[in-house]
A = this chain, B = another copy of it.
Amino acid sequence: MDTPIWNKTTTVIKVGGAVVEDPEQLATLLDAFVRIDGPKVLVHGGGRSATKLAAQLGIESRMVNGRRVTDAETLKIVTMVYAGLVNKNIVAQLQARGCNALGLTGADLDLIRAHRRPITPEGIDFGFVGDVERADGTIFQALLEKGITPIISPLTHDGQGHLLNTNADTMAMEVAKAQKSSTLTFCFELPGVLRDPTDSATLIPNLDEADFHSLVNDGTIAGGMIPKLQNAFDALHAGVCSVRITSIHDLIGGTLITP
């Protein structure tokens, strides 16, 4: 007899902007994604397309610590790009591959609730940026049990009628945490965590938290990889079975993150 799905492990894949915005890379990813057995969820970014559309419309994209400052006009742009253009193209292409995809934001079905980030102690107002309060595991469960594959764009809502721009890595972590059992894979343009980002031969196949701290201290791990790995360790501490950072060409390779 088949394992009941509620005892199955959900595979959560996060895919970044560089992949979703390149038709060939996206096709490679989606081909690999549909081959994953069992319940699965795809969380996507789209920041580069948002930056491009903003520039075309004469709106400046302001980033602070890698996060987009989201005023009302920028919120419209990310809503159009993430929930519209990127999300629905992925959905249509997965349907063409026989995968019953359903594109969602956190507002749909009240799936992921957030609150607007308060002004930081340094006085930075990120605008319509959301920090997640809860992702509803019961709803994911109900969808996955019906063979539906949720495709999540990085927008949440505050329950008071406002959409909020939310970091896609964080969304993926929250989605993974909301499952009874899950693995989380961050899928991006490099083969994994590299000692030298220009040399894929320097891949670190296994990384634990002690290694992480010493590699941050000696400057080997820097920039956007730091919050990505912090998310990964948070996910492990919250009960996610495994976290992997890898490329679209090898969803079960790359760097395996362990506590």
Interface set of A (CB-CB < 8 Å, partner B): 53, 56-57, 76, 79-85, 87-89, 91-93, 95-96, 100-105, 107-110, 148, 155, 157, 159-163
Write out the residue numbers on chain B whose beta carbons fall within 8 Å of the beta carbon of A76: 85
Instruction: Check B91 against A100 for contact (C-beta < 8 Å).
Output: no
Instruction: Check A157 against B83 for contact (C-beta < 8 Å).
Output: no
16 further A-B contacts with Cβ under 8 Å, apart from A92-B157, A95-B161, are: A53-B80, A83-B83, A84-B87, A88-B155, A91-B105, A92-B162, A95-B107, A95-B110, A96-B160, A100-B110, A101-B107, A101-B109, A103-B105, A103-B107, A103-B108, A109-B148
Q: Within the complex, which residue of B84, B85, B95 is in contact with A157, where a contact is CB–CB below 8 Å?
A: B95
- Tell me how many chains of this kind the complex includes: 2
In the assembled complex, the Cα of A110 lies from the Cα of B93 at a distance in Å of 11
Q: Is the interface of A mostly helix, strand, loop or mixed?
A: helix
In the assembled complex, the Cα of A92 lies from the Cα of B53 at a distance in Å of 23
Q: How far is the CB of A222 from chain B (nearest CB, A)?
A: 34
Instruction: Check A88 against B96 for contact (C-beta < 8 Å).
Output: no
Instruction: Check B148 against A92 for contact (C-beta < 8 Å).
Output: no
In the assembled complex, the Cα of A60 lies from the Cα of B178 at a distance in Å of 45
Write out the residue numbers on chain B whose beta carbons fall within 8 Å of the beta carbon of A88: 79, 83, 105, 107-108, 155, 163
Q: Within the complex, which residue of B81, B102, B159 is in contact with A109, where a contact is CB–CB below 8 Å?
A: B102
Write out the residue numbers on chain B whose beta carbons fall within 8 Å of the beta carbon of A163: 88-89, 92
